[in-house]
Amino acid sequence: MTKADLIDEVSRLAELTRKDSEVIVETIFDSVVRSLRAGDKIEIRGFGSFRTRQRRPRVGRNPKTGERVEVPAKKIPFFKPSKELKDLVNENAAGTTPAAAAPSPATPPTA
Pair 22, 59 in one domain = no
Pair 71, 22 in one domain = no
Q: Which helix (H) or strand (E) holds 5?
A: helix 3-14
Residue 101 has pLDDT above 80, yes or no: no
Q: Is residue 8 domain-resident? A: yes
Range of the domain at 23: 1-38
Pair 45, 87 in one domain = yes
| Between 65 and 104, residue with greater pLDDT | 65
Mean pLDDT across the stretch 53-78? 95
Mean pLDDT across the stretch 59-69? 94
Q: Is residue 109 domain-resident? A: no
> What's the number of domains the chain is made of?
2
Closest C-alpha to 81, from 109, 35, 44, 26:
44
Cα–Cα distance for residue pair 60/62, rounded to 1 Å: 7
